[in-house]
Structure 1
Amino acid sequence: MPHHDHDSSLRHRLGRTLRTPVGVTALIACLLVASVAVLGPVLLGDRAARIDTDAINQGSSAAHLLGTDQLGRDIAARVVVATRLTLRLTLLAAVIGVGGGLLLGVAPAVVGRRAGRLITAVVGVLVAFPGLLFLLFLATVFGVGTTGAVFAVGLAMVPPMARLVQNLTASVAGSDYVAAARILGVGRFRMVVRHLLPNIAEPSVLFAAQATGGVLVAFSGLSFLGLGVQPPQYDWGRLLNEQLNRVFVNPAAALAPGAAVVLTGLMFGLVGEVFAQAGGRRAPRAEEPVPPSLPPAAGEAAAGGDGGVLVRARDLRVTFPGGRQAVRGVSLDIGAGEAVGLVGESGSGKSLSALALADLVPHPGRVSAGTLRFDGDDLRADPRLGTELAMVFQDPMASLNPALRVGRQLAEVAEVHLGASRARAAARAVERLGAVRITAPERRARQRPHEYSGGMRQRAVIAMGLMGKPKLIIADEPTTALDTVVQRQVLGLLAEVREESGAALLLISHDLAVVAQVCERVLVMYAGLIVEDLPVAELLGGGAAHPYTRALVGAALTMTTDPGRELATIPGRPPEPGETGTGCAFAPRCERARERCHDDTPGLTDLGAGRQVACWYPAGPAAAISHTAEATS
C-alpha cells in the first residue's frame, strides 16, 4: 500500500481544516446540535410532555415561544426534545447505508468473477431505480414504525454508496501493490482491510457525510407521511405533520421543525465540505521548515542583469512534508536559444526541477530558491509565465482532454492567453498542427486524441506549446513511449522548432543517446543535485569527470557497442529523499570513494570552459586539475 507521510494523513489535514472559517463553522454547528440532543430531553423533557388543557392551540407568547399544540404542550420544547431521537435514527440509518454500501462495494474485488459481476449488476439495477420510489417500496415492505423506517432509509442509501465504492475499489484493485499482495497469498479479509479500504477512505467518508443530510430529510419525510415514528414518540417529521394544518394560523409552529431539518442538513453538508477540503488539494498546508535560501548574487536582481541568460536558478529546492527534499539546491543557467539536456536515473529530481521552474510542482511540494529568474523577471515574486514557456510531457494522452477535439484544445490557448477570437484561434490551431508535420491538419483538428497515434499526439502537444511564442521549451521524456522511428522524428521536430522559433530547450531524459542528438550541453543529476555540467562532445568522447556520469555512459548501449563487451553496472540504488546525509550522495556506490567523500559534500567546481563537476576525486584528465586545486587550497 502506498506510504503517506504522517503530516499528510487525513487526521492532520483535518486538524488544519478545522481551523479555517468553514471548519470552525462546522465544528460550532456540530457542538451546538450535539448539546441540544444531549441536554434537551433532560432540561425540557417534562415541559414537552406536560398537557395543559387551558392552553390548547395557543399562538406564540412569552410563556410558549412557538405556541402550543392540540393538547396544550409547548411546541418549542418538543422541537428541542425531538432532536435526540431524530439524530439517533438518522445516524443509525446512515450506519446501515454506509456499512451495506462498503460490503457490496468491495465484494466484487474479493469474491469470484461470476459473483462479482452479479453483485455489480444488482447494484447497477438498484441505482437506476428512482430513489424515492425505492424508499417507499422498502418502507412498505418493512412496515410502519421506527424500526421499519430505519431499515428502509438505510437500505435505500446502500446502492449509491455501493456504486461509489465499487468505482473507487476498481481503480485501486488494479494497482501493482494489490497484485503483489495477491501473489503473496494475502487473505481476502486482510486484502480489504489493509489494501483497499485505506486507499478509498477519504472520498467514502466525504460521500457518507454529505449523504447523511439526505438520510435526515428522507427519514423526516417518512415520519411526515405517517410511515416513520409513531405516537407517543415524535421526531421533527412527525411534529411537522402535526402542525401543518395550522400553518396559516401559527406559522412558527409549523415551520420550526422544518427549519430544524434544513439547518441540521446544512450542518452535515458543512461536515462533508470539511472532509472534502481535508482530503483534497484545498487542504491548508502546514508550515514546513525550509532551509534558508542563498541571497541573490550581486547584480542579479537588476533588470537585464542576466547577461543573455534566459533561466537562472540558484539554490533551487523542492521540499515535501516532513522536510524531505527531492531537489536539494540546484543551480543552473540556460542561455537564450540554448539546448540543455538533464539526465540521471529515475528519482534523481530531473522532472521536479523542471516543474519547479514552471511553478507546476504538485501539492504538497514547496519550492524555494535564492534566485529564480526567467528572461530577467523574478519568478519568486510573480511565477506566471503565460505562453513564454511550453511543456511537453512524457504521456501526451494525459496532456490532452479525451473529450475535446484536438483543434479546440489548441485554440483555447490562443483565446485565453493571446485574446484571439474563436475563428482566429481555430485557424492558428490548424496552422500549428501543420507546422509540426501533421498531415491534413484541417481534418485532424476536428478529431479527438484517441484518433491520433502516439507520435501524432506528441506532435499535437508540441503544437499546443507553439500556439504562443515560447522562449523556453521543457520536454520531459518526450520520446519514452515511442518506437525508434517516431522517436527520431519527434527529436528532429524539436530541433526544427528550436531553430525556427529561437526558443531554448531543456530536454529531460535518462537516455544519453537522445540527449546527444539534440542538446549542446548536459547537466547530470543525482539525488537532487547537479553533479556535473559538461558539453555533449565531452560526454560522447569519454571526457566525463564524475564517476556517476562515466557509469551512465558505460551502461548505455549503442549501435557501435562491441557485442562481446560487458556493459557497466552501478551497484546499489539511488537514495530516497530524506536518506541523504553528510558527504557525497554517490559515495556508497562509487568505487573511487574515500573517507573524505563520506564526510564532506563536494560542490560544483570549474574544470575549464563550460565544465563543472561536484566530486572530490574526479576521473580522467579532470583529476589532475582537481588535485592541483586541492593542493593549492
Structure 2
Amino acid sequence: MRRVRWNAPLVTALAGLGLIALLGIVAPLVLQEEATALSGAARAPVSAEHWLGTDALGRDVLARTLVATRLTLEMTLAATAIAAGAGILLGTGVWVSGRRVRELGLRLIDVLVSYPALILALVIATVVGTGPTASVLAIGLGGAPAFARLTANMAASVAQRDFVTQARLMGVPPYRVLVRHLLPNIAGPLLVLLSVAFANVLVALSGLSFLGVGVQAPDYDWGALLNSGLASLYTNPAEAVGPAVAITVTGVLAGFVGDGLAAALDPRARDTKTAPAQTPAVSAPSHRAPADALVTVDGLSVVLPDGTRLVDEVSFHVMPGEIVGLVGESGSGKSLTAMSVARLLPEGLSAHAAQLTLDDLDLAAPVVDPARLATGIGIVFQDPSASFNPALRMKGQLTETLRVHQGVRGAEVDRRAVEALEQVRIKEPARVVRQYPHELSGGMRQRAMIAAALLPGPKLIVADEPTTALDVTVQAEVLDVLTDINRRRGTSVLLISHDIGVVGTVCHRVLVMYAGRVVEAVSAADLRAGRVKHPYTQALLAASPRLQDTGAAERAPLATIPGRPPQPAARPAGCAFAARCPVALDTVCATERPRLIDDVACHAVRQEVPTA
C-alpha cells in the first residue's frame, strides 16, 4: 500500500472520530446512572441541570446520548466489518477462481446489487428478528453486495496483469494470489471505501432503530433516541437534537476520512508547499509501460476549475522511433491529451497524472527545465495560418529555439534554417527564410512549422491534426514529410487526427479515444485490416470512405454513428458510448465504467470472449 501523505482533513477527521470513540468508552462508566435514573421531571425543557432536557421518564437526554455512543459505534463497526469482509471475500474470490465460478460469482453480485441495500436489510431483519445482533447482521449482509461489486471492479484490473498470470502459471494457490497480489494492490481504495461504508452503515442502523425494527428497550442507540425524541419534537425539540447531531457529526467525520485518505493515497498528490492543490481521486490501475519507452503517460486527467474532467485517466506510451496516433471524434480529448504532454494546456485547465515523462524528464513536475522541454518536444499545430507571427520574417521564427535554448548564432543559424526547410521539401529555402508568413501557401507554412519543430533535434514531435486546414493533395505531402522524418531521424511522433484512415496509414500504433478516455489500442496493421474489437472503433471504420473490391471503383455506402458524444460534465457513470452502441448490455454498460483490459475497454467484448 502507498505511503500515506497526511493532510488537514484526514488528521481533523481522525481526531474527531477518536474523541467520539473516547466518549463511547468513558460515558457508560461515568454517566450510566444519570442516563437510567427516573425522575418526576418528565419532558423537562433545556436547563442548566439538563442541557438537552429529559425524556418521557425524566431521564437526562444528553447523558443517554453520550452513553448510547458505545452501542452505536460497536454496532456500526461490526456491521461494517461484516459488509466489508463478505464483500471483499466475494469480490476478490471470484477473480482467483476458475472461469465458471467467476462468471457465476459476477452474475450473483449483479443480481444482489440490483436490490437496494436497505430493502435487503429490512428483509433480513424481518427473518432474523429485532435487537442489536439482528440489526448488525441485517445491515452487514445487506451492504455486502455493493462492497462486492466495487471490490470486484478493482480486483478485475489487477487480476489481468502479467504478474498475476505468471503466479497462476507457476501454480501459486488461489488464496496466496489473493493475499499476495490482489489485496495489496487494492488496499488503498479499499480503505477509502471502508470509511464511506462506515458512514452509510451508521445511518442505516440508526434508520432501523428509528423505524422500531432495530435496537429494542431497554437497550438504546442514537436511532432509538431519535425515535423517542420525535414524540416531543414540538414541545422540546432539543430531545431530538442530541442524537441527530451525533449521527450527523460522526457520519460527516467518517466521510472526511474517506476524502482525506483519497488525497493521502493519491500518487498524483504532491506536497502542497511545492505544488497546487489537486482534485482528490482514487488512483486508476498503473500503466505498465516498457522500461525503454520514450514517453510514458499514466492516469492523465485534464480538469476544469470546477472539477469536471475533460480527459479522464488516460494511459499510454510511445516508444523511440514510433509513430502513435490518437484518433476520435471532435471533443474526444485528443488534443488536450497531446498538449498535456507538451505542457501547453489552455489557461484555466490543469493536468494531473501518476506519471508523465519524456525519457527522464518529469513533465508532471511543478517546474520543468524550459530548455529541455523546448528542445525535447517539437509541436506542429493544426492551423498553419495561425502558426507564425505575421509581423516577423520566417528566419527569426524558425530559429528562435536554436538561439534561445541552444545558443546557436550567426551564419550557423542561417545554414541550419535553410537545411531544415530543404528536409521538409520546400523549394528555394534561402528565399523563404527571408519572407513573411503571408507570402507562403498553406502547405508551405505547415511544412515550415514542421521544420521549426525539427530544428532543435527533438525526441518527440507532437502533431496536432497537422493536415486539417489543407487540401487533400497537400495533406498527403505533409504526412509524407512526417513519415520520412520518422524513418530518417528516428524521431517519435504523436499524431492527433479525427481521420481514422490517416492514422491507419501513417502510424505504427493507434489509440482510439472517446469522451476523454482511451477505448481501444490497436496496431496499424490490425486497424487497416479491420481487426478491431470496440464497437466505436468499428463504427469509425464503417464511417470512413473506402473503395469496394468489385473490380470497379464503386463508392461503398458510408455508415453513420447515431447521437452525439456526452458532454464532459454529463459523462455517464458507465460506458460513455453505451447510448450510441448497438451491442450495449442493459445490466452493466449503463452503470459500470469499462476499464482498458487487453487493449479494449468494453463490457460486451469481454462477455463475448471470456478471459480464462
2:469 maps to which residue? 481
Q: Is the 8 A contact 1:293 1:368 kept in 2?
A: no
Which of 567, 580, 604 is the matching residue for 1:617? 604
The amino acid that maps onto 1:319 is: V
Using a 3 Å threshold, how does the CA distance of structure 1 residues 297 and 615 change in structure 2: closer, same or farther? closer
CA distance in 1 between partners of 2:594 and 2:277 (Å): 26
User: What CA deviation, in whole Å up to 9, does each residue of 1:367-422 have, x standing for no partner?
Assistant: 10011111122222243412111110100221111011111211222100111113
The amino acid that maps onto 2:302 is: V
User: What CA deviation, in whole Å up to 9, does each residue of 1:166-222 have, x standing for no partner?
Assistant: xxxxxxxxxxxxxxxxxxxxxxxxxxxxxxxxxxxxxxxxxxxxxxxxxxxxxxxxx
Which of 491, 503, 515 is the matching residue for 2:503? 515
Displacement of 1:566: 3.1
The amino acid that maps onto 1:593 is: A
The amino acid that maps onto 1:450 is: H
The CA RMSD over aligned residues, in Å, is: 2.2
1:460 maps to which residue? 448
* Mapped pair 1:320 → 2:304: yes
Secondary structure, in 3 states, of the residue corresponding to 1:433? Answer: helix
Which of 365, 368, 375 is the matching residue for 1:387? 375
Using a 3 Å threshold, how does the CA distance of structure 1 residues 449 and 587 change in structure 2: closer, same or farther? same
CA distance in 2 between partners of 1:431 and 1:396 (Å): 20
Secondary structure, in 3 states, of the residue corresponding to 2:494? Answer: strand
* Mapped pair 1:399 → 2:387: yes
User: What CA deviation, in whole Å up to 9, does each residue of 1:516-566 have, x standing for no partner?
Assistant: 221011100000000000011111212110000000000001244874643
* Mapped pair 1:590 → 2:578: no
Secondary structure, in 3 states, of the residue corresponding to 2:521? Answer: strand
The amino acid that maps onto 1:518 is: V
2:514 maps to which residue? 526
* Mapped pair 1:369 → 2:353: yes
User: What CA deviation, in whole Å up to 9, does each residue of 1:80-138 have, x standing for no partner?
Assistant: xxxxxxxxxxxxxxxxxxxxxxxxxxxxxxxxxxxxxxxxxxxxxxxxxxxxxxxxxxx
User: What CA deviation, in whole Å up to 9, does each residue of 1:328-363 have, x standing for no partner?
Assistant: 110001111111110000000000000001110011
The amino acid that maps onto 2:604 is: Y
CA distance in 1 between partners of 2:380 and 2:579 (Å): 35
1:579 maps to which residue? 570
Q: Is the 8 A contact 2:547 2:555 kept in 1?
A: no
Secondary structure, in 3 states, of the residue corresponding to 1:495? Answer: helix
Using a 3 Å threshold, how does the CA distance of structure 1 residues 433 and 293 change in structure 2: closer, same or farther? farther
The amino acid that maps onto 2:583 is: R
Displacement of 1:581: 2.7
Which of 422, 435, 439 is the matching residue for 2:410? 422
CA distance in 1 between partners of 2:577 and 2:532 (Å): 15
Q: Is the 8 A contact 1:545 1:623 kept in 2?
A: no
User: What CA deviation, in whole Å up to 9, does each residue of 1:50-81 have, x standing for no partner?
Assistant: xxxxxxxxxxxxxxxxxxxxxxxxxxxxxxxx
CA distance in 1 between partners of 2:282 and 2:588 (Å): 26
For residues 293-332 of structure 1, what are the structure 2 equivalents within 5 Å?
294=283, 307-332=291-316
Using a 3 Å threshold, how does the CA distance of structure 1 residues 565 and 439 change in structure 2: closer, same or farther? closer
Using a 3 Å threshold, how does the CA distance of structure 1 residues 323 and 518 change in structure 2: closer, same or farther? same
2:596 maps to which residue? 604
Secondary structure, in 3 states, of the residue corresponding to 1:474? Answer: strand
Q: Is the 8 A contact 2:546 2:556 kept in 1?
A: no
1:48 maps to which residue? none
CA distance in 2 between partners of 1:337 and 1:431 (Å): 22
CA distance in 1 between partners of 2:499 and 2:374 (Å): 30
Secondary structure, in 3 states, of the residue corresponding to 1:340? Answer: strand
CA distance in 2 between partners of 1:547 and 1:465 (Å): 36
1:497 maps to which residue? 485
* Mapped pair 1:570 → 2:561: yes
Deviation larger for 429-438 or 418-427: 418-427
Q: Is the 8 A contact 1:306 1:376 kept in 2?
A: no
TM-score (norm 1): 0.50
CA distance in 1 between partners of 2:564 and 2:386 (Å): 29
The amino acid that maps onto 1:330 is: V
Displacement of 1:499: 1.3
CA distance in 2 between partners of 1:613 and 1:291 (Å): 26
Q: Is the 8 A contact 1:411 1:422 kept in 2?
A: no
CA distance in 1 between partners of 2:503 and 2:595 (Å): 24
Using a 3 Å threshold, how does the CA distance of structure 1 residues 450 and 296 change in structure 2: closer, same or farther? same
The amino acid that maps onto 1:572 is: G
Runs of 5+ consecutive residues of structure 1 not aligned to the other structure: 1-285, 607-611
State which structure, 1 or 2, has the greater radius of gyration over its C-alpha atoms: 1
1:291 maps to which residue? 280
The amino acid that maps onto 1:434 is: E
* Mapped pair 1:545 → 2:545: no
CA distance in 2 between partners of 1:296 and 1:617 (Å): 21
Q: Is the 8 A contact 1:296 1:370 kept in 2?
A: no
Q: Is the 8 A contact 2:284 2:313 kept in 1?
A: no
Secondary structure, in 3 states, of the residue corresponding to 2:346? Answer: coil
Which of 350, 374, 389 is the matching residue for 2:334? 350
The amino acid that maps onto 2:527 is: L
Secondary structure, in 3 states, of the residue corresponding to 1:397? Answer: helix
Displacement of 1:289: 5.5
Using a 3 Å threshold, how does the CA distance of structure 1 residues 529 and 436 change in structure 2: closer, same or farther? same
Q: Is the 8 A contact 2:300 2:354 kept in 1?
A: yes
Deviation larger for 348-357 or 428-437: 428-437
1:471 maps to which residue? 459
TM-score (norm 2): 0.52
Which of 431, 439, 460 is the matching residue for 2:419? 431
The amino acid that maps onto 1:394 is: Q
Secondary structure, in 3 states, of the residue corresponding to 2:435? Answer: coil
Q: Report percent identity of matched pairs.
A: 48
Which of 419, 437, 450 is the matching residue for 2:438? 450
Q: Is the 8 A contact 1:342 1:525 kept in 2?
A: yes
Q: Is the 8 A contact 1:316 1:368 kept in 2?
A: yes
Q: Is the 8 A contact 1:339 1:519 kept in 2?
A: yes
Displacement of 1:288: 7.2
The amino acid that maps onto 1:551 is: A
Using a 3 Å threshold, how does the CA distance of structure 1 residues 443 and 293 change in structure 2: closer, same or farther? farther
The amino acid that maps onto 2:559 is: A
Using a 3 Å threshold, how does the CA distance of structure 1 residues 559 and 449 change in structure 2: closer, same or farther? farther
CA distance in 1 between partners of 2:546 and 2:296 (Å): 33
CA distance in 1 between partners of 2:504 and 2:307 (Å): 35
Secondary structure, in 3 states, of the residue corresponding to 1:390? Answer: strand
Using a 3 Å threshold, how does the CA distance of structure 1 residues 314 and 375 change in structure 2: closer, same or farther? same
Secondary structure, in 3 states, of the residue corresponding to 1:327? Answer: strand
